[in-house]
Structure 1
Amino acid sequence: MTTALGAEEYRALLSTALPEATDADTLLPNLHTLFTPDSHRAALYVDSTVVRGGRGVGKTFWYHSLLNDTLREVAAEEYGIERLRRLTVSPGYGAAVEPDLYPGKGVLRQLVEEDVRPYDLWYAVLLSALGQSELHALPEWRDRVAWVRANPGAAERTVRQADQEAQQYGTTHLIIFDALEHLHRIRAQADRLVGGILELALAMRLGTRNIRCKVFIRPDMFDGALLHFPDASKLTANAASLTWSNANLYGLLFHYMGNHDGEYAAPFRRLTGDWQTDAYGRRHIPPALLRGDEQSQAEQFARIAGPYMGANYRKGNTYTWLPNHLMDGVEQVSPRSFLSALNKAVAETRGTYAGHEYALHHEGIRRGVQTASGTRVQEVDEDMPWVRLAVDPLAGGQVPIEQNTVMELWGEARLTDALRKEAERYEVGSDEDPDVRTGPRYPNSPDRLIEELIVLGVMRRRHDGRLDLPDVYRIAFNIGRKGGVPRVSSG
């Protein structure tokens, strides 16, 4: 008979199995961390050109996984996508410094200043990936772009030859793009560069059979890209999104726990069903028990955290409470926030509630949500510093809030002037804070600014028209809600 794990044993397993760093650029995917939620299958189709997703939902994770032959093979097996086995994958852009494969931020800034046409730039990247020999003899991207403009016939012949050779061998060239928020610090220029990538991607999709691009992109950047070219709407028609259901999030948690090699992982696997080990040594989570059946998942999580967020059901169910309070304004939860909250919950329980009957104390889970909120707001600050300028005037107040009240607070804070000054700091040629990347599209229009915050998931509009902030942003922005998770104390 299998013996149940105790609170401290579960706590020890969580402490060692959960990743310490949940940033995809610092924690590269491997065979044990590769998790394949059903909702991501469409994003891995070779013909899915655009893959939309907010920060922390898996764009960079899949970008790196597609570049890895073994992980791509595993994804092909688990998703049943045979075409993934017959790919030649090249990076078209990413966070890593790869000056021979694509231009970095400094070179991009220079090319933009020289008014290079974005399509020509990315065409040069594509041709380099396809092995155009004359381009490889030119180390500078300025010269490669000039070659593309001067040699349209040779460029087209390179594409045709690569397409025909791929057809002959039954393969596909896939050029993948990620980290597009790093392209340029001025939003209008970033939009132009993204528009060039998408124009090239559509041209390959319509003009070739075996050359494809896959563009991992934030929804707001895709919506704002300058798609002023024929048939641009076709990119929207086949776009995929990286979303996470509650079952996916808890499946990821149990996947980490079951694929750990520590002392308590094996007992956990025996307790939770028939885990199968594949040829790569990956342990497969029992699909009916821990991956798709929310009732079974809730029962298992109750063994770890108890059934309720307090004394009884009136305090909330632990299984639904955690993702509900990490959900953004477009009802999405990032696995990065989810895992961050759980990490903090473990540490808080171990440090303050070590004698608790469950591995996670409900106050530890609340503290985990507070920590995840702080992390999420920090990420927004890094990507879009203007968001804090817009939300800070609401600090100390409560939501829901009337839109007119928001307008009044923005007026008192002279938000339009602040946004204009922020934009002026990052004009082309400025060396200040070169990593700052994107600003609002309509800084002079409060109505449009609110809609942009809603699209980003920072705000949401209630049925009665009032504006709200989800907890994952509200808490760290120091905005209250009656009966909600408390704000983080400044003390």
Structure 2
Amino acid sequence: MNHFELIREQFRRLDPSASHELNAPPSVADLYTPADHESALDTDRPLVIGDRGMGKTFWTSALSDPAARSYLAGVYPRLMLERCDVQVGFAGVDMAREGAISQEIFSQLEGRDGYPAELIWRAVIYRAASKGTGLPQHPSFNSLLKWAAEDAERFQNSLRQIDESIFKEGKRLVILFDALDRLGNNWSEIRRRSTALMRVALAFRSYTGIRLKVFMRTDQASDPSMFAFPDASKLTQGRVNLLWERRDLFGLAYSQLVRAPAVRHAFGEVCSSAVGLSLPNGSSLPDRIKHDEPVQQEIFAAMAGPYMGSDWRKGRTYTWLHNHLADAHGRVSPRSFLVALRAAALQRPEPTSKVFDARGLQKGVQVASEARVAQLGEEFLWITAALAPLADLRVPANRDVFLSRWEDHRTAGSIATAAHRDGYLAPVEFGEKDGGATSDQLLEALQRIGVAETRPDGRINMPDIFRVASRLLRKGGIRVSTNLS
């Protein structure tokens, strides 16, 4: 095989569907560490906001795993992660090791037993922090909460005692909270319990040894009532938005080539020819290839050609791919990016003098669109019902034409009814009252999560990453395919 064939074969072997949970943390070989993600791992930054697929659960599982955390400590030395012990307080799964609580247990403690949500969260923290301290241990959350409620001063003094002990040892205990959208069966429950956690996180900013770190969905963070309590701005002003810049995505893709021994030499030859850079020994990516966009662009042009057509008017391949995978907020998930590259590598007939061609990259966006809409449907169970009536609509479209599709199908009301009947979360814009949902609120929900956007002229548009799979049309846009296999 020549260099391009070896690289193409490696992209074909990518597994973008791989995900990580607490019981299956990423291996060190799976870790790619964008410079901008340092703040997301900083134990002094308690609130991290991100969309699905941006890495919230990935970083939760990596931080909770000693081997992965040790590697991250070397990459981000400023964070001093080698001094940290990490426990999980909530992750949306069954009650797990070291004190993590499940939604079912939380509901029983709050609903059946009447304990306040804030006290439950403090009990989660105490249970995670008190092991091996000599302080009272309790066989269940119920007995712990009973003990805590009997004497609030004693309970808080015990937490402070643990905190001081950790600090004197030169350590930090970091307690992670993820998947807050699984805290309840409706927005009212989720909002109440999440807000209680935010109150506790604010209170623990005064602790020196114990740190809380909360990974939250973007739509929850945009709910004003989530932070409707005094001094909440001390949390929100320091929030970290978990994003993947274009350079991070291409760096991630190139790292897949550097780490594969059979392909490393081939990729090195491409880099040497394109930008005069030699790859050092080992599996790390040189900083210029990791961070320098003009360098990345030249390397990608060597693999895919510089343009999507005969000249610049069709767009440069480097910027074109990112632009067509971006949502309305300009965000691209790493999974979408790798799905697109894999599909482009699988395209037939194969180009002979490069890794990808323009047809392959277009196919990549088609396949990534299907994958992204399916991924979004796992998080927002109402999204399929919202997008189905829009099929064959040409965008950008006048607002009234766009909304009329939903009005004709009574989509907003049907979503609200189905969510209430089947027990899943409707768009937060609908509020808590049944039957009050409107098409305007549904459009607002799509705009909030980046699926739709309002153009300066007032027309409604949908980015290609959602448009193609949803079968909407756009003049001159990527063709809607009926067979993406």
Q: Is the structural similarity TM-score above 0.5?
A: yes
User: Paired residue for 1:370?
Assistant: 366
1:313 aligns with 2:302: no
Which residue is 2:100 aligned to?
102
Shift of the alpha carbon at 1:468?
A: 1.1
Alignment deviations for residues 323-379 of structure 1 (CA, whole Å, 9 cap, x no partner):
1111011111111110111112222x2xx2135432223222212211111111112
* Contact kept in structure 2, 1:49 and 1:214, CA below 8 Å: yes
Q: Aligned partners of 2:444 and 2:148: how far apart in 1?
A: 40
Larger mean Cα displacement after TM superposition, 74-83 or 437-446: 437-446
- Structure 1 residue 76 and structure 2 residue 101: aligned? no
Is structure 2 residue 334 aligned with structure 1 residue 335?
A: yes
CA contact (8 A) 1:386 1:440 kept: no
Please state if 1:459 is matched with 2:452: yes
Equivalent residue letter for 1:23: S
1:364-416, CA deviations, whole angstroms, 9 ceiling, x for partnerless residues? 22122111111111122121122332332222101112222233222221123
Structure 1 residues 150 and 356 mapped into 2: Cα distance closer, same or farther (>3 Å)? farther
Alignment match, 1:431: none
> How many Å separate the matches in 1 of 2:421 and 2:115?
23
Quick check: 2:395–2:474 contact (8 Å CA) kept in 1? yes
Q: 1:235 maps to which residue?
A: 235
* Mapped contact 1:383–1:438 kept (Cα < 8 A): no
1:50, 1:238 within 8 Å by CA — same for their partners in 2?
yes
Task: Report % sequence identity.
Answer: 31
Report the number of matched residues.
468
Which has the higher mean CA deviation after the structures are superposed, 444-453 or 150-159? 444-453
Q: 1:335 to 1:292 in 2, by over 3 A?
A: same
1:82/1:104 CA distance change after superposition, 3 Å: closer
Aligned to 2:388, which of 389, 392, 397?
Answer: 392
SS in 2 for 1:284: coil
Instruction: Please tell me whether residue 416 in structure 1 is matched to residue 412 in structure 2.
Output: yes
**CA distance in structure 2 between the partners assigned to 1:326 and 1:59 by the alignment:** 20
SS of residue matched to 2:418:
helix
Whether 1:479 aligns to 2:479 is no
- Asked whether 1:14 is paired with 2:11, we answer yes
Asked whether 1:174 is paired with 2:171, we answer no
1:489 to 469, 482, 485: 482
Cα deviations across residues 179-206 of structure 1 (Å, max 9, x unaligned)? Answer: 222222312211222112211111101x
1:138 aligns with 139
Question: Counterparts of 1:74-473 in structure 2 under 5 Å?
Answer: 74-100=71-97, 101-111=99-109, 113-114=111-112, 116-131=115-130, 136-139=137-140, 141-205=141-205, 207-224=206-223, 226-261=226-261, 263-269=262-268, 272=271, 273-276=277-280, 283-288=283-288, 290-347=289-346, 349=347, 352-354=348-350, 356-427=352-423, 436-437=424-425, 439-442=427-430, 444-473=437-466
Residues 404, 143 of structure 1: alpha-carbon distance in 2 compared, 3 angstrom cutoff: farther
- Take 2:238 and 2:397, find their aligned partners in 1: how far apart are those partners? 37
Q: Is the 8 A contact 1:52 1:241 kept in 2?
A: yes
The CA deviation string for residues 145-164 of structure 1, in whole angstroms up to 9 with x for no partner, is: 44433332232122111111
Contact 2:393–2:473 (CA under 8 A) maintained in structure 1: yes
For normalisation by structure 1, the TM-score amounts to: 0.88
Question: SS of the residue aligned with 2:428?
Answer: coil
Aligned partners of 2:179 and 2:212: how far apart in 1? Answer: 15
Report the CA distance shift for 1:240/1:82 in structure 2 as closer, same or farther (over 3 A).
closer
Q: More relative contact order in 1 or in 2 (CA 8 Å, sep 6+)?
A: 1
Q: Is the 8 A contact 2:191 2:226 kept in 1?
A: yes
Alpha carbon RMSD of aligned pairs, Å? 2.4
Cα pair 2:390 2:472 within 8 Å, conserved: yes
Contact 2:45 2:238 (C-alpha < 8 Å) held by counterparts: yes
Write the deviation string for residues 77-115 of structure 1: whole angstroms up to 9, x where unpaired: 323324322111111111443445222233344445436
Residue-by-residue CA offset, 1:300-337 (whole Å, 9 max, x unaligned): 11222222223433322111111111101111111111
Hey, what does 1:430 align to over in structure 2? none
Q: Secondary structure at the match of 1:51?
A: strand
Tell me by how many angstroms 1:6 deviates: 2.9
What are the superposed Cα offsets for residues 201-235 of structure 1, whole Å, 9 maximum, x if unpaired?
Answer: 11101x31221111111111122263233211111
Structure 2: distance between partners of 1:376 and 1:299: 28
The SS at the match of 1:301 is: helix
Determine if contact 2:45/2:239 at 8 Å carries over to the other structure.
Answer: yes
Aligned letter for 1:105? Answer: Q
**Aligned residues of 2:7 and 2:257 also touching (Cα < 8 A):** no
Residue 449 of structure 1 aligns to a residue in which SS? Answer: helix
Question: Does the 8 Å CA contact 2:3/2:269 hold for their aligned counterparts?
Answer: no
The Cα of 1:134 is off from its aligned counterpart by: 7.4
Q: Compared with structure 1, are the counterparts of its residues 149 and 143 closer, same or farther at alpha carbon in structure 2 (3 Å cutoff)?
A: same
CA distance, structure 1, for counterparts of residue 227 and residue 190 of structure 2: 13
Please list every run of 5 or more consecutive structure 1 residues that lacks an aligned counterpart in the other structure. 428-435
Change (3 A) 1:53 1:135: farther
